Amino acid sequence: MRNHDTIAAIATGTTNAGISIIRISGADAFSVADAVFLSKKGKKRLSEQKSHTLHYGKIVDGDVMLDEVLVSVMRAPNTYTTEDVVEINCHGGMIVTKRILELVLSKGVRLAEPGEFTKRAFLNGRMDLSQAEAVIDLIHATNEQAVKNSVRQLNGNLYKKIKEIRESVLRDTAFIEAALDDPEHISLDGFTDTLQEHTEANLKEIKALLKNAEDGKIIKEGIRTVILGKPNAGKSTLMNVLVGEERAIVTDIPGTTRDTLEELIQVKGIVLRVIDTAGIRHTQDIVEKIGVERARTEAEGADFVIYVADASRELDENDEAVISMIQEKKAVVLLNKSDLSMKTTKEELEQKTGKQVFLISAKEETGMDAFAEAVEKMFYQGLIDQKEEVFITNLRHKQALADAKESLDKVLESLALDMPEDFYSIDLMNAYQVLGEIIGEAVDEDLVDKIFKDFCMGK
């Protein structure tokens, strides 16, 4: 029954701003608005106005005026929730905004739960579950690529792909079931070839979605990037250059950085979650030793490592330790302090590390363009802007796709072993159901509640 309550919440940020919006959705939205809104001439009832119109007036609590406002009136079903919706646009001070919300709630309206407006849009059939999840991804997007991908999902691109695969699987399942129920009139002769063709085509689509899930993770979360190097190689200076401000302490004293420091930065539109670490060296200092161990741990879990070497000093055992740590990693080497007299060469490092080496001066901020281009090619091959495909950014979607792949693989195995037709049907239906979890057509209420609890209050 709570899904039929009239609900309200602040739909904008909870800090002082120019404008705040209180959103009301439900069957009583218009009657509640009439109870608190007074038009400029005192005669206009919002419940009598046309849909998608804007009205100037004031919010009143009895004889007390709370604020001058503009109110949007939107009639079901052509609204975000498919219900009657009223949005009160008031001045953005939080005191007045909360007073208006409290007044609305006093008229029998319930405070919306986190994500409840979008949850109602899903439950009322306005959007599928993947589109609903794209809303929260769009809100939390940290870069242009994440925005584009969320918009594609919001437009239903993923839904269409999943829907097509499910319909194909369902047609094959229905044919098998019908033939098993009525073998006299429906024959399965030759159908195994057709089923194999359809299953291989569906597997190809699922594998393509799974293949781009790694890029999807990068788009959504950024690349977990660790800066490694021995003390005084220039790691913290590099960190400050990448961030664009003085975030890391820079001194000539070795071992200044004792703990990890994490920042989000963008390189060529690619988000890097950059972690500056303590310099790698043998030390007796207990605190510094802890920092070095944390650096090693961060490096083990990194998607990408930037090894900063000092061109003004010869390579030593500390450099050798770093080189051993990056052998199995996706990494680049920045030969820093290239503006000074060089005692370590680019060629020497390339031979020792087997990685790309770039001459830079973090202090002078030179050589960074070539590094940025290398990062772009390393992760996106420079093609991602040209693609219109949807990238899988949601772990739940990825798992469902993996489960569907496993089921369809079993169908092919059963075909190869010439198993009875009911074996095909079981695995086909498994694939159909797990794909339905992505778009919300085969999902339990607890999962739906869990998904929408991650939303902000007014969305």
- For 319-335, give the DSSP string: HHHHHHHSTTS-EEEEE
What was the pLDDT predicted at 236?
A: 80
Can you tell me which residue has the tokens 């429906």?
186
Per-residue pLDDT of the chain (459 residues; tens, 9 = 90+): 466 899 999 999 888 889 999 999 999 999 999 999 999 877 778 999 999 999 999 999 999 999 999 999 999 999 999 999 999 999 999 999 999 999 999 999 999 998 899 999 999 999 988 888 888 877 777 667 777 777 888 888 889 999 999 999 999 999 888 888 887 788 878 888 999 999 999 999 999 888 877 767 667 777 888 888 888 888 888 888 887 644 443 334 344 444 457 777 877 777 888 887 776 766 666 666 677 778 788 878 888 888 888 888 988 888 888 888 888 888 889 898 888 888 888 999 889 999 999 998 888 888 888 888 888 788 765 444 445 567 888 888 999 999 999 999 999 999 999 888 878 889 999 999 999 999 988 777 777 787 787 777 777
Interacting residues of 417 by C-beta distance below 8 A, sequence separation 6+: none
Beta strands in 50-145 (DSSP E): 53-61, 64-74, 85-91, 110-111
What was the pLDDT predicted at 52?
A: 96
Residue 391: DSSP 8-state: P
Burial (CB < 10 A; 0-12, 13-18, 19+), residue 180, is middle
Helix (H) or strand (E) run with residue 374 in it: helix 368-380
Domains of the chain: 2-112 (3.30.1360.120), 132-212+392-452 (1.20.120.430), 220-385 (3.40.50.300)
What was the pLDDT predicted at 154?
A: 83
What was the pLDDT predicted at 19?
A: 94
The SS3 call for residue 359 is: strand
Length of the chain: 459
What was the pLDDT predicted at 428?
A: 94
What was the pLDDT predicted at 386?
A: 44
What was the pLDDT predicted at 23?
A: 97
What was the pLDDT predicted at 222?
A: 76
Token couple for 24: 């009301």
What was the pLDDT predicted at 279?
A: 67
Residue-wise pLDDT for 295-324, tens only, equals: 788 878 888 888 888 888 988 888 888 888
What was the pLDDT predicted at 250?
A: 38
CA atoms of 35 and 266, how far apart (whole Å): 49
What was the pLDDT predicted at 143?
A: 67
257 close to 278: Cβ distance less than 8 angstroms? yes
What was the pLDDT predicted at 151?
A: 82
Greatest pairwise CA separation for the chain in angstroms? 89
State residue 305 phi and psi, 5-degree precision: -125, 135
The SS3 call for residue 342 is: coil
Report which of 57, 217, 219, 205 is spatially closest to residue 147, judged by C-alpha positions: 219
What was the pLDDT predicted at 444?
A: 75
What was the pLDDT predicted at 131?
A: 87
Residue-wise pLDDT for 182-228, tens only, equals: 877 888 788 889 999 999 999 999 998 888 777 676 677 778 888 88
The SS3 call for residue 232 is: coil
Long-range pairs, 362-371, Cβ under 8 A, ≥24: 362/234, 362/237, 362/238, 362/241, 362/308, 362/334, 362/336, 362/337, 363/234, 363/237, 363/337, 363/339, 364/339, 365/241, 366/338, 366/339, 367/334, 367/338, 368/241, 371/332, 371/334
What was the pLDDT predicted at 255?
A: 42
What was the pLDDT predicted at 340?
A: 86
CA atoms of 154 and 190, how far apart (whole Å): 40
